[in-house]
Amino acid sequence: MNSLPEFTTQLKQYLDQHGIEWKNMRRTLHRFPEVSYQEHETTQTIIDFLTKLGWHIERPLDTGCVATWTPKNKWDATHHTVAIRADIDALPLQEEGKAKQEFLSQNPGVAHCCGHDAHTAILLGVAQTLAHFYNEELLDPSAPQVVLVFQPGEETTPGGARLLMEHGLLQQLGVDQIVALHTAPFIPTGHVALKEGMLMARPDEFELILHGKGGHAGSPHECIDPIIMASDVVTQFQTIASRQTHPADPVVVTVGSLHAGHTFNVIAEHAELKGTVRTFSKDQAELVKSAMQRIADGVAASYGGKATFTYREGYPAVVNHPEPTTHLQQAAQTANLEIQPLEKPLMAGEDFSFYQQSIPGALIFLGTGNSDPDIDSQYNWHHPKYNVDEAAIPHGVALFIQYLSTHSSSNP
């Protein structure tokens, strides 16, 4: 391998030559999005691209794939091995946006409005760049073996990451470190953000049915009003974070849906509430769950009603390990990306955390925010107008290639 400055110069030249190709790949993926665990055409597009480059493909799940440069039967599971992951699924959402008119989704009610099309295009760019560098012997022999993970089902439980870890392929390949990125509309293009430790929350879900007694709206004394119960429950749920958990522990309890009744002169029979709980540990989640059950039962009983409470565990919290976080920081600096301080964790969730339960890993936010009306990429994740500044795609490729160079013995 050449010196790091020479390697960086060669990498920049390659990025400049192929950036348009990766941009077009992102737009192709964007036009034909597929929801979680249904990413069949997306998977075939990825496999076709990788096999032409010489990568070897494994199919541990029905959709998605894992790629290695060395075939599995010649793989050295004792050699230092790192994995880079991209999620490939889209959202059940109807997109809109003037800036995306040239490549809007062709699949009604499905859209890449969380950046997974860009994640996939970036990892395909990494695959193409690595293939070139492997063939030209431009990588240091001490560089780690690389596993490229094109993961399905990040948006929907149980989570593609969980399924992959349960399959065991990454463990069989000896992966001892894993990294990923997520596009970030709240960070300008050319910047990245990451932190060691707590990065993203554990996103649990709940449903609550409050059973009352329906009747005429003019005779409330003969009824048990579930809307009154629901109002009380929603208010008391907010005391969990403020009065029942440690003030320094981030906790969110949000009721996102409340439905009761159908007309103006009838007291409903029941009220249905749905929402999310965000915490950073299983112990925290259990504390919140118990408090919610206690409140729901208590409020319902105080009005003479009943409560049916259901709580579903989501993904674990994303907690970045020290060593891969340091490697990503070094890579960002070498790739001339400005590192933006990230003082507080985000309360969004990510199934990347399932890898981190067994493998040291870190996730980094790649800035894609741009207020230019022709790009308009400052809408947040899951918004119908969400877009990605495609100038960030080569930044992501450079970040991961430089991440690999931080593991080389020739890296100072």
Q: For position 304, which CATH number holds? A: 3.30.70.360
In a shared domain, residues 206 and 191: no
155: annotated active-site residue: yes
| For residue 158, cis peptide bond before it (omega within 30 degrees of 0) | yes
In a shared domain, residues 214 and 190: no
Say which amino acid occupies 195: K
In a shared domain, residues 112 and 157: yes
Catalytic residue from among 34, 39, 87, 176: 87
- Token pair belonging to 366: 């790649």
Helices 392-405, 322-334: axis angle to 10 degrees equals 120
Residue 96's CB is within 10 A of a number of other CB atoms, namely 15
The last residue of a domain, from among 283, 312, 341: 312
In a shared domain, residues 58 and 122: yes
Task: Please report the beta strands in 142-241, taking only residues with DSSP state E, as ranges in sequence order.
Answer: 145-151, 177-188, 191-193, 197-200, 202-211, 215-216
Q: What's 35's DSSP letter?
A: B
Q: What's 407's DSSP letter?
A: T
CA-CA distance, 3 to 7, in Å (whole number)?
6
What pairs with residue 158 in β-bridges? none
pLDDT for the residue 119: 98
CATH code for the domain of 397: 3.40.630.10
pLDDT for the residue 3: 62
Sign of CA dihedral 396, 399, 405, 407: negative
In a shared domain, residues 277 and 227: yes
Helices 116-135, 40-53: axis angle to 10 degrees equals 20
In a shared domain, residues 328 and 284: no
In a shared domain, residues 231 and 337: no
Task: Please report whether residue 207 resides in a domain.
Answer: yes
Task: Please report whether residue 293 resides in a domain.
Answer: yes
What pairs with residue 284 in β-bridges? none
CB 140 within 8 A of CB 53: no
The last residue of a domain, from among 264, 281, 312: 312
In a shared domain, residues 362 and 219: no
**Non-local CB neighbours of 310 within 8 Å, separated by 6+ positions:** 206, 207, 208
87: annotated active-site residue: yes
Residue 44's CB is within 10 A of a number of other CB atoms, namely 12
What pairs with residue 253 in β-bridges? 277
- Token pair belonging to 181: 């990125």
Number of domains comprising the chain: 2
In a shared domain, residues 119 and 228: no
Catalytic residue from among 155, 376, 389, 390: 155
Task: Please report whether residue 292 resides in a domain.
Answer: yes
CA-CA distance, 158 to 404, in Å (whole number)?
30
In a shared domain, residues 193 and 269: no
- Token pair belonging to 1: 């391998």
In a shared domain, residues 248 and 304: yes
Task: Please report whether residue 412 resides in a domain.
Answer: no
CA-CA distance, 353 to 98, in Å (whole number)?
35
Task: Please report whether residue 87 resides in a domain.
Answer: yes
CA-CA distance, 402 to 192, in Å (whole number)?
14
CA-CA distance, 245 to 284, in Å (whole number)?
8
The last residue of a domain, from among 312, 338, 365: 312
Task: Please report whether residue 411 resides in a domain.
Answer: no
Q: What is the mean pLDDT of each run of 10 residues along the chain (412 residues)?
A: 72 94 98 98 98 97 96 85 98 96 97 98 98 88 91 96 98 97 97 97 97 97 97 97 92 96 96 97 95 98 98 96 97 96 93 98 98 96 97 98 80 48
Instruction: Of 293, 206, 274, 282, give the one whose Cα is nearest residue 249.
Output: 282
Helices 392-405, 4-31: axis angle to 10 degrees equals 140
In a shared domain, residues 335 and 247: no
First to last CA, the chain: 13
Give CA separation, 384 vs 39, 51, 93, 112, 138, in Å.
20, 34, 7, 9, 42
Provide the whole-model pTM: 0.92
Instruction: Of 27, 28, 63, 36, give the one whose Cα is nearest residue 47.
Output: 63
pLDDT for the residue 412: 44
Task: Please report whether residue 384 resides in a domain.
Answer: yes
The parent domain of residue 206 ranges over 202-312
Task: Please report whether residue 410 resides in a domain.
Answer: no
pLDDT for the residue 409: 52
CA-CA distance, 160 to 84, in Å (whole number)?
15
